[in-house]
Every structure is written in C-alpha cells, then in structure tokens.
Amino acid sequence: MTSRRNFLKSSILSTSLLIPGVLKKGSELLSRRENSVNAYKPLIVSTWEHGLEANTRAWEVLHQTGSILDAVEEGVKVTEADPASRTVGLYGYPDREGIVTLDASIMKGNGECGSVCFLRQIKHPISLARRVMEKTPHVMLAGEGARQFAISEGFPLEEEVLHPESQREYEEWLKEAEYRPIINIENHDTIGMVGLDVNGNLAGSCTTSGLAFKMHGRVGDSPIIGAGLYVDNEVGAATATGVGETIIKISGSFLVVELMRQGRSPQEACEEAISRLIHKNQENIEEMQAGFIAINKDGEYGGYAVHPGFNFAVQHNGGNEMEDAKSRFTG
Ligand code: ASP
C-alpha cells in the first residue's frame, strides 16, 4: 500500500523517443494536441505499479515472438502469478464467503475477444480467456462452466487456500463485514494492459480478483468487453481499473475508444470518459475510484482517473517508467 503511494516521478516526456513520421495528422489536430504528440511504436501501457514488471515481460515477449497478443497475455501473467498481489490472481483477496473468484478478458484489434468470469482455481485466467477466444464459438464463459472448460483444456486446478495475508485481511474484514470501496487502498487494482506493435496491430488484456470482499457471484468490469477492455485496430485501445460498477454503467473502455475515433487524443478521451463516469455515478463518487488508460494506433497514450493516486507504467524504446495520472478531483 505504501509503495503504491510512493509514486515514481515520470520522466517519460522528457526522455521520450519520438519516432518521426508516426503522426500523420492534419495540422489543426497537431496544434490542438501540441502538448501530447509524443508517439511510440511499439508501445505497451499498463495499470498500476505492477505494470512495470508486466511491461518488462510483455516487451521481451513482443521482441521474441513479434506477437502483440502474446505480449499482452504473457505480460499480465506475471501479475497473476505474483504472490505479492492481493488484487490479481489466486493470491488475491477473497469475496465475502472467503472464496477467490477471478475475472479476465483479452482482445485483438480485429475484434476477436474472449473472457472468463467468476472463475475459481485457475492460476492464469488470462490464458483461459484467450482459449475461449481461440477455441470456442463464444466470447465469455462463467463460473463452473469456465472451470470445466479449463479442465478440458488441460489447465491445472490450484488448491483453494488463501494467501496468509489475504486470510488475515479477510478475518479483519469479517469483524465488521461491511463493504465500502476505499479509494486506492488495495481492494481494487486490476492489471489492464494495452499494446501496439511496429505494424500498428493492437491488443489488450485485463485480469483481476475483483473488489475485495465482494458479494459471492459479483462480476466487475474487467471481463466485460467494452467495459474493462476494448481494442480496435482502426482507432486504439483502452482498459479500466477501479470500482467496476461505475465503469460498466458507461461502457467505459468502449467509450474511450469511440471518443478517440471521433478525433480525441487518448488523454482527452480518458478525461471525457471520466467526466461521463462521474456524471452517471454521482452518489458516493467521493468514495469511488476509477481510472482509464488508452493508446491510439499512432502510438500516443493517456491516462486519467476520478481521484488522485492512480498511476500507470509506460514501456517504449526509451524505457519503462511509471507515470502519475491526473485526476478530476485533486485532494
Ligand atoms: N475493476 C475491478 C473490478 O471492479 C477492480 C479493480 O480495478 O481492481 O472488479
């Protein structure tokens, strides 16, 4: 928690490697965006500080395989397997019944996508989401059906034992058993990753254990295509983190991509989507954190949140660094 607040200062803009000729836009658009024309190919952006390690792996895989889809899958697998993560993967916080249930989605720029939700016992839900995309006629599998599909695909079943830290927090929570989302405390820190390769192909991934101590059966935005993740090779890609209910209500990631389609930069699109989210979630917005990150097909990126505290990791040829997102509310 402390480290999450210990933000690294961004030096992305000053050390950026601007790839000439990437931006071929009208001069009007360029002047409107004069503060945000840095563009990178390839580019990988992911949410929160765990994004740094995930980006490193994604970058490696992109260079090994040339596949942006492989990169966004393998990148977030690092976080899914990390015993230190209380918000992604099987070491995450459980629901109110003490059971860890996982949500994940993956999407390619041509519209192919797959997701799993309310999934138990599977270490890498993102890989199962990819299998749904590649091996079934469906987009989403839930709960026991998803688990059965995993078994049929040869995924090993993990034992359902809470990580000691998750167990301790759960027992603490049980004393009051009250559910209140608390801004930026580690009860909601999904990893969402969006990536662009040198040829302009986009892909994205999103994986989470969802809100800590959620109702059993609750599914958030992360496995819902258009809410937690959306990718379109013609435009760009976006992913979300935060209280999923607020994001689902505005089809958040789809909205960000559509705003970019209409000419907004990734930064402008994230800001506009956050305005919409605040407008549609006015009740309790002071307790609800949500954030978006986005990239466009030219290799520009942006990020924005409701409240301060959200940050994201940006990887390009110039390095892999954290950047603090600006937010609508400031204190
Ligand atoms: N968006 C996720 C959910 O609502 C939580 C998170 O960002 O960690 O399930």
Does residue 63 register a pLDDT over 80? yes
Q: Ligand 1 centroid vs 86 CA: distance in angstroms? A: 12
Q: What is the mean pLDDT of the segment spanning 300-312?
A: 96
Q: What is the mean pLDDT of the segment spanning 157-175?
A: 94
pLDDT greater at residue 283 or residue 325:
325
> What's residue 177's pLDDT?
80
> What's residue 22's pLDDT?
35
- Please work out whether the CB of residue 232 comes within 6 Å of at least one atom of ligand 1: no
- Shortest-distance atom of ligand 1 to CA 189: 8
| Structural domains of the chain ordered from first start | 1-35 (no CATH), 38-327 (3.60.20.30)
Q: Which position among 47, 101, 190, 207 bears the catalytic label?
A: 190
- Give the per-residue SS3 of the chain: CHHHHCCCCCCHHHHCCCCCCCCCCCHHHHHHCCCCCCCCCCEEEEECCHHHHHHHHHHHHHHHHCCHHHHHHHHHHHHHCCCCCCCCCCCCCCCCCCCCCEEEEEEECCCCEEEEEEECCCCCHHHHHHHHHHHCCCCEEEHHHHHHHHHHCCCCCCCCCCCHHHHHHHHHHHHHCCCCCCCCCCCCCCEEEEEECCCCCEEEEEEECCCCCCCCCCCCCCCCECCCEEEECCCEEEEEEECHHHHHCCCHHHHHHHHHHCCCCHHHHHHHHHHHHHHHCCCCHHHCCEEEEEEECCCCEEEEECCCCCEEEEEECCEEEEEECEECCCC
Q: What is the mean pLDDT of the segment spanning 176-180?
A: 76
Indicate the pLDDT class of residue 52, thresholds 50, 70 and 90: very high
- Please work out whether the CB of residue 89 comes within 6 Å of at least one atom of ligand 1: no
Indicate the pLDDT class of residue 283, thresholds 50, 70 and 90: confident
**How high does pLDDT run on average in the chain?**
88
- Please work out whether the CB of residue 221 comes within 6 Å of at least one atom of ligand 1: yes
- Please work out whether the CB of residue 222 comes within 6 Å of at least one atom of ligand 1: yes
Does residue 8 register a pLDDT over 70? no
Does residue 178 register a pLDDT over 60? yes
> What's residue 188's pLDDT?
64
Active-site residue, 190 included = yes
- Please work out whether the CB of residue 210 comes within 6 Å of at least one atom of ligand 1: yes
Q: Ligand 1 centroid vs 277 CA: distance in angstroms? A: 15
Indicate the pLDDT class of residue 181, thresholds 50, 70 and 90: low
Q: Ligand 1 centroid vs 189 CA: distance in angstroms? A: 6
pLDDT (tens digit, 9 = 90+) per residue, 183-238?
555 456 899 999 999 999 999 999 999 999 999 999 999 999 999 999 999 999 99
- Please work out whether the CB of residue 303 comes within 6 Å of at least one atom of ligand 1: no
Does residue 4 register a pLDDT over 60? no
- Residue with CA nearest ligand 1 atom 4: 244
- Please work out whether the CB of residue 208 comes within 6 Å of at least one atom of ligand 1: yes
Q: Ligand 1 centroid vs 34 CA: distance in angstroms? A: 33
Q: What is the mean pLDDT of the segment spanning 23-33?
A: 38
- Shortest-distance atom of ligand 1 to CA 209: 9
Q: What is the mean pLDDT of the segment spanning 122-148?
A: 98
